Amino acid sequence: MERIWIAIGSNFGKPLKQVNTALSELAKLPKTRFLACSSYYRSRPLGLQNQPDFLNAVAVLDTALTPEILLNYIQAIELKQGRVRKANRFGPRTLDLDILLFGMRTIVTPRLTIPHYDIYNREFFLYPLKELSPNLQFPNGVMLSYYLTQVPYNNLTYWNEDLSITTHIPIR
C-alpha cells in the first residue's frame, strides 16, 4: 500500500454536505484505507473572483490501487455529486478531488500529474498537509516546512457555517 493525499474542494451547491459525502465515498474505496482528514478551511477562489469562497480539506489514505484506477474512482465520486468539467477550470464547482501526492512518485501522463501541478504554491493544499503530515517531504526532496515559509496564507481561515465568524490561521 502507498500513502496518498487527496485535496477536496467545493464552493457550489452545499459545500459542507458535498465534502462530507466525498469523504464517506473515499472511505469506501476498494483496496484503500482511509486514515484521516484535515480540518475544513475556507479559501478565496483562484482565477474567476465572482464566485463563493471554497471549502477545502485534505484527506490521507493508504491504497493498493494504481494512480489511474484511483483517478477513475475519484472522478466518479465527482460526477455523482454533479461535477461538470468546463473549459474555465477556475470556475465554481460542486466538488473537486485532486490527487496531490501518491507516495513519493512523480507521474506525468495526459490524464494525471502527480505531484499536483501547483501543490507548492497553494495555501489551501499546504496548510492542511501540515496538519496531517508536518514532517512531509515531497518527491523533489524539499520539506513541506520550506514551502510554508514561501506561501502566504492569503486569509485562509477555518471553515465555519456562520459566515460572519472566521478563525484566522496564524501566519507560521
Task: State the DSSP code for 26.
Answer: H
Q: 56-78: string of b/e by CB count within 10 Å (b at 16+)? A: bbbbbbebebebeebbebbeebb
Annotation marks residue 162 as catalytic: no
Out of 33, 42, 93, 162, the active site residue is 93
Out of 83, 85, 89, 111, the active site residue is 83
| Environment class of 144 (CB within 10 Å of its CB; exposed 0-12, middle 13-18, buried 19+) | buried
* Max CA distance (Å), the chain: 43
Annotation marks residue 122 as catalytic: no
Out of 62, 85, 98, 172, the active site residue is 98
Annotation marks residue 3 as catalytic: no
Out of 42, 96, 122, 162, the active site residue is 96
Q: Which residues are catalytically annotated?
A: 83, 93, 96, 98
